[in-house]
Structure 1
């Protein structure tokens, strides 16, 4: 028979910190997402910034209709991240869904659960990124089909950007998008970037463009703004991390004027 020791509860007076980490960044990501968490762990997480994630249901194929179906899940997804506690920022990590649902609608749904919390979406983060680097004429590369890419073209045009070229890869499964090899991304970026563009945007939080950002910028000779690079940059700046980190890509050396 095992001997059970006597357990004593100490009367030691404990001190408690307000938070385990100074800043809290929430992520709402797709159930199928392979890429956002590794990218944010590499670029955002630190001894001062903690990452807290909720996954919401998503069913491929990646079409505008399927993307819109995530909208009702946004509030509950936000509510599940540290319930009844404040966050400093929350990112909805889906570019194409943010475009078809709308940045403002996404923010309203998330703020229903987390009032007054800044909400980052990838397309709006890309807009702020282009503002930071002074780009007005852009090339766009997406992994999507033409159907899913078309709202993206309308979005950036409505934001006042000139689209020098727009290229898509024709994929409709975000799990396949996450498996595109970095060298293929570099080659696709080189082909997709117009000579007279100020910068290139690579859409989709599933695509591993942020990890390849320095190599892509060397290949195209222009700044890169990708979905995860832009959202990580915006998240850092909102969390008061202003360190320039150009080794992650030229955007990461820029301040953010406003959110």
Structure 2
């Protein structure tokens, strides 16, 4: 039996990104929207922890043993980079801790490593940002840790807002998110950063950037941008300020 198909040589060659996600991630669908056709995402999750979104949860989901195990769970598909997809887990203890998470992932065998907060730092540097506004879904304490992280990176928070949610972050509607981003903006802010990989933002970025005339940087967007940059692939999706800066 002839199984030849003229003009068809097989599936598109696959290039992989390993994703270490907190146990409560519900936005895989949004994450895939940032991926080019020839890039596959391979997800591993940290173990379930019976705590609300909080400082305690951020510490649990960034545990080095969990990151090591999750990295090893995706290595067999040969990802070119492994990303720790969590804002709070990668900013709670400062710049040194963020770097240590990347070291942990590389030590577990990854060819390269990225964290969401590390991707934010790269965008701040490349866009030469020194003043930003911030929106988070967290409580005040966890939001304050983000302020501390940015201050350590010499980036001032000129205005901040937080939703105070302990769970169900992926259920927040676009209208609420857009209104809160607009409210968090400040004339002195060079950009707005929207924290949390579980907060849906894909479809609000472009219209808000047009309205505000400045970058709207979001957690999933930045993580994928940093991964694709390491793979020498172009930025996908909304976020025109990031298109040409890697």
Work out whether the TM-score is over 0.5: yes
Counterparts in 2 of 1:208 and 1:166: CA distance versus 1, 3 Å: same
Corresponding residue for residue 193 of structure 1 = 185
Alignment check: 8 A CA contact 2:127 2:245 kept: no
1:228 paired residue among 220, 230, 237: 220
Q: After TM superposition, give the deviation of residue 105 of structure 1 in Å.
A: 2.1
Alignment check: 8 A CA contact 1:62 1:148 kept: no
Map of 1:17-28 to 2, 5 A cutoff?
21-28=13-20
TM-score (norm 2): 0.87
Structure 2 gap segments, 5+ residues each? 1-10
Alignment check: 8 A CA contact 2:114 2:227 kept: yes
Give the Cα separation in 1 of the matches to 2:175 and 2:169: 14
Alignment check: 8 A CA contact 1:146 1:170 kept: yes
Map of 1:199-214 to 2, 5 A cutoff?
199-214=191-206
Corresponding residue for residue 78 of structure 1 = 71
Give the Cα separation in 1 of the matches to 2:18 and 2:56: 26
Q: Does residue 60 of structure 2 align to residue 69 of structure 1? A: yes
Q: After TM superposition, give the deviation of residue 251 of structure 1 in Å.
A: 3.4
Q: Does residue 88 of structure 2 align to residue 106 of structure 1? A: no
Give the Cα separation in 1 of the matches to 2:181 and 2:199: 12
Structure 1 gap segments, 5+ residues each? 1-18
Runs of 4+ in 1 over 6 A off after TM superposition: none
Q: How big is the alpha-carbon RMSD for the aligned residues of Structure 1 and Structure 2?
A: 2.1
Corresponding residue for residue 255 of structure 1 = 245
Q: After TM superposition, give the deviation of residue 120 of structure 1 in Å.
A: 1.1
Count residues in correspondence: 231
Alignment check: 8 A CA contact 2:92 2:142 kept: no
Alignment check: 8 A CA contact 1:233 1:251 kept: no
Q: After TM superposition, give the deviation of residue 73 of structure 1 in Å.
A: 0.7
